[in-house]
Chains A and B, each alone.
Chain A
Amino acid sequence: MISITAADLSGISPALHLAVAGIAIMLLDALWPMRSKLLSVWITLAALGCSLTTSLHRLTAGVDVTLFNGAVRMDGYAHAFSAIICLASTLAVLSAPKYLRLRGVHLAEYYALLLFSVCGMVLFAAAEELIMLFLALETLSIPVYCLVGFTRTNVYSTEASMKYFVIGAFATGFLVYGIALLYGAAGSGYLVDLRAGAARAPGLFYAGMTLLLVGFLFKIGAVPFNMWTPDAYEGAPTPVTTFMAEAVKAAPFGGMIKVLFVGFGFDAAVGLWQPALVVIAVLTMTVGNLTALVQTDVKRMMGYSSIAHSGYILVGILAASKLQSADALAAVLYYLFVYVLMNAGAFGILILFSHKDKDTNAVEDLTGLARERPWAAALMAVYMLSLTGLPPLAGFFGKFYIFSYAVKAGYVPLVIIAILNSVVSAYYYLKVIVAMYFRGPEDTGRAAVFHYEGYSVFLLAMLWFTAWGILYYGIHSEPQLALARLAASSLFATAP
């Protein structure tokens, strides 16, 4: 008979910690609403910390278990994604209390929703079966729709939430349709069995593969499925944007890479996804960067920049699939890790100077920051330069590894386009630095005020940690790369 054993439960403990903590926060808030706010921040951080350490420990110990009758597999790959996502979510949680308190929506539900979403993300990279994949994706998406509309009296926030929900549901439709067709072609929902469908019912298989890919590309915000990104990023409360830009961005890659590598494989017969992804990667990088050039709002600009970064990551995925080497895939994981740090920091600075009645979102709002708050300006400069990809910051090494493996794989034109795009992106990242350092109130005609309203130790800790991480993990990337290699090789062990 089918039964859940203790081994199953201990195997998914990184996800289970989060779900239990989320439920505990809801109960706490219902029974003891007076004290639940600050307590739930601590519970959330503790749960994320537990999951992070468990995942890292199991990753280094080489734990590889198949659970729930093969529906979930907690191997090095799943543990690595779990660690990246838990780190990303911790950074997002640290930036939340200050902003939410200023907006008067510091509610315990925020942390419960966030934890449920993270639980789905952890399972998403671990899913070995299409229904499990779908369930995990919905578990990770639905709380985020709510979080985007968390400042519910704010019309932009509700609009963003509605837009994101409708488009997200639409994307899910594609995904489910793809799953149904693939199941029809392969006669099995397990990823390892999918490839057999290409010979049995090619029409169904390729239609299913296309639809499934469309669903994934929606989630990662690749062109031409990117239109929700800037609106959702701009309208969402800034801590939620932080969460979306790092955790919600990284998580879909976990499931996507697994489906592509383990499910579809690299044979020419079923590897039609590779040329399709080349076109999508070029479009994603170029459109993302070119549209970001004209943005005046930092949150919106970061939305387009996140689209562009999805393009770079796709280049890394393509290189890994061509070389079929764990090293190349490790570069993608390392890039995701670095990307999480850079984004958390950049949004953190916006939160740092957000006031009760007004967000600090426009590039113009940062004018003259360096004169009044030199440290904050220096941190922001580090994040922006790292996003541009300037050595010796971590962003440079992330790009460097991805591009060098892409060259090795023979994707030279793709790399040239990617590097040209990086050069273009320097314009809008440096625009922020120019505003902070080389312009003052005399240029904009209005005095900017940079006082900290609602001091938060959590936020400051997050900012310093991310800046330190960008400086340190760039030069000392070897331990991170070794962990990523461990994770990547466990995925290639199952891939054809």
Chain B
Amino acid sequence: MLSPYLPILFQLILAAGFACALLVLTHVFGPRRSTDVKLSPFECGVDLLDCAHHRFSVKFYLVAMLFILFDIEAIFFYPWAVIFREEISQGLLLLSEMGTFVAVLLVGFIFIWRKGVLEWA
């Protein structure tokens, strides 16, 4: 009865094994240059143990927001790619639709690039 779930079990084991193997391998072979920043649990540019009302640069938000934006837009490519195979007879139309989407995306990219959002300094 549970046999359909067997592949999932295998995948879980495989994923756990892969993660463990990578951790062990880096531990054994990787070079170690410990600095204060490297030793902190999260390396995100902000002091971990500090006052909660600490002010930090708005750039973090900006970069995070743009990342999410472009990330989500990249996700639209997946269903499109799947449908593209099924509806290959209408290939040109589908291609032009994705072309429009990418063009709009490109305008957004040109905008943030020329506005200097991508320059950290």
Contacts and interface: CB of A to CB of B under 8 A. Distances in A.
Interface string A1-45: 101100000000000000000010011011101000000000000
Contacts of B76: none
B111 A27 contact: yes
What 4 A-B pairs are tightest by C-beta distance, nearest first?
A30-B114, A30-B111, A26-B111, A30-B110
B3 interface: no
Interface residues of A, number: 10
Contacts of A26: 107-108, 111
9 contacts: A3-B93, A4-B97, A23-B107, A27-B107, A27-B111, A29-B111, A30-B110, A30-B111, A30-B115
Given A29-B111, A30-B114, A23 B104 contact: yes
B35 interface: no
B87 A1 contact: yes
A364 B97 CA distance: 57
A31 B90 contact: no
Nearest to A5: B93
A31 B93 contact: no
B87 A31 contact: no
A29 B110 CA distance: 10
Given A1-B90, A3-B90, A26-B107, A31 B114 contact: yes
Nearest to B87: A1
B97 A31 contact: no
B58 to A, nearest CB: 11
A27 B111 CA distance: 6
Interface of B: 87, 90, 93, 97, 104, 107-108, 110-111, 113-115
Contacts of B93: 3
Interface of A: 1, 3-4, 23, 26-27, 29-31, 33
Nearest to B115: A30
A3 B83 CA distance: 12
A263 to B, nearest CB: 29
A3 B90 CA distance: 10
Nearest to A4: B97
Contacts of B113: 30
A4 B114 CA distance: 32
Contacts of B111: 26-27, 29-30
A19 to B, nearest CB: 9
Nearest to A2: B83
Contacts of A30: 110-111, 113-115
A127 B112 CA distance: 31
Given A3-B90, A3-B93, A27 B110 contact: yes
Nearest to A20: B104
A26 B115 CA distance: 10
A4 B97 CA distance: 9
A185 B115 CA distance: 47
A15 to B, nearest CB: 15
Nearest to A27: B107
Nearest to B86: A1
Nearest to B103: A23
Nearest to A26: B111
Contacts of B90: 1, 3
Contacts of B87: 1
A362 to B, nearest CB: 33
Contacts of B110: 27, 30-31
Contacts of B97: 4
A432 to B, nearest CB: 40
Given A3-B93, A26-B107, A27-B110, 4 more contacts: A1-B90, A3-B90, A29-B111, A30-B114
